[in-house]
Amino acid sequence: MSNTKQQAKWIRWFRWLHRKIAIFLFVFFLVISITGILLGIKKQTGLLAPTKKGVSADLSTWLSLDSLQKNAIRFMKDSVPGNLSTEVDRIDVRPDKGIVKFTFKDHFQGLQLDGTTGQLLVIEKRRSDFIEKLHDGSILDKIFGTSNDQVKISYTVIMGLSLFMLIVTGMWLWYGPKRLRKSKKAQP
């Protein structure tokens, strides 16, 4: 087979592969792109509640994290409707703002407490956490009840490799015809 025919065959194969990957994973790439944009502008769009200011940024005046967590759990039980889990997922300490943010494992409610007084400053719906879970695929682990992020890891690897393949095949679809035209011009 001539070099030109071989190059044309490779171009057709890369076009086929590029198309199949793009068609099969179109919805996933659409979700990743939209959620990525939303996460990039979450503060500007209101997806993330503004961080309040506490009484003091001086950590020596703050309550212990244990006391703050007990307050957060009490506020979750008393101030948030529904019988939501009080299992804390993360504690985000913001010394410069004088506050502590609490997020919970099984839902998207969050609390901001004053570090010094332990008072509730904000009950927030953490929309950005939901969007992040959509973006990285961890929402599927929650839906399927899997542990150790098996679905998230598989999803991330598959989507990363697929994007890499789209880049490689796309580059060849751009470069291959140029190379083919050059080789046709070079033939006598």
Range of lowest pLDDT (14-23, 35-44, 86-95, 114-123): 14-23
Q: What pLDDT shows up at residue 147? A: 81
Q: What pLDDT shows up at residue 39? A: 93
Alpha carbons 53 and 130: distance in angstroms, whole number: 24
Q: Of the candidates 45, 63, 46, which has an alpha carbon nearest to the alpha carbon of residue 54? A: 63
pTM of the model: 0.74
Report which of residues 143 and 111 the model is more confident about: 111
Average pLDDT, the chain: 88
Using CB atoms within 10 Å of the CB of residue 7, give its burial: 0 to 12 exposed, 13 to 18 middle, 19+ buried. middle
Range of lowest pLDDT (8-12, 71-75, 94-98, 148-152): 8-12
Q: What is the mean pLDDT of residues 74-97?
A: 91
Range of lowest pLDDT (10-14, 40-44, 123-127): 10-14
Could you report the per-residue pLDDT of 42-64, keeping only the tens digit for each?
Answer: 988 888 888 899 999 999 999 99
* Residues forming beta bridges with residue 154, ordered by sequence position: none
